[in-house]
Amino acid sequence: MPKFRRCLSFLLVGGLVLTPYRADGQSRTSLAFDATLARAKGSGGEFSNRELMGGRIALSVSRSRATNLAFFGELSMDVLYEGMGTAAICRPSSRGGCLGDFPELSGPAAVIGVSTESSDQVMQLRLGFGGGAYAKEKTRVGALVSQMDGAIFPTSHLGMVLGARWVAVPRFRSDRLSLLQWSFGVRIR
């Protein structure tokens, strides 16, 4: 865990020094850093506990023209784990034995999409699609990722972000899984 904390600290400090870069009067390229806490509910497969908690850090680049419509690309690291211990109750599985908990997934994701801002740049909405490479112990899985988030910026560089992310894992040990993840945190641009 110390490595994760060092990485998070480095990205947070790096995000604080980011400022928008204006190439000319008609276009703008900007960088943003997100740090959010997440709560997710899984579906699919035979599992007993489907509630997950976690966090997400992301770095995105956005390019816009004279309109308030922009295209963005984002790289993120998601960590979803079982937040609370479960009771020692054995619910029988059709495969034999007891049902296990929903898989704790973590790994990188890449998303591209469109965003729009209010004319005073106080509010921002984004919609994106992409993929992720998640791992649970020695099992690695690919996933389809879609996300929607909104941010409010009380100051020019620091805002609050609320988002939803849907992750679909086509195959995890012969099961199809999906997660609906809600996140809340900060965005530095």
Domain ranges of the chain: 2-188
CATH code for the structural domain at 2-188: 2.40.160.20
CA angle, 95 then 96 then 100, to 5°: 80
Whole-number pLDDT of residue 20:
46
Residue 153, SS3 per DSSP:
coil
Which CA distances in Å does 95 have to 45, 62, 87, 91, 125? 11, 47, 21, 12, 44
- For the record, the structure tokens of 174 come out as 């012969």
pLDDT at 96 over 80: no
Whole-number pLDDT of residue 9:
59
Whole-number pLDDT of residue 163:
95
pLDDT at 4 over 90: no
Lowest-confidence range among 1-5, 90-94, 142-146, 161-165? 1-5
User: How high is the mean pLDDT of the chain?
Assistant: 79
Give residue 38's Cα distance to chain centre. 8
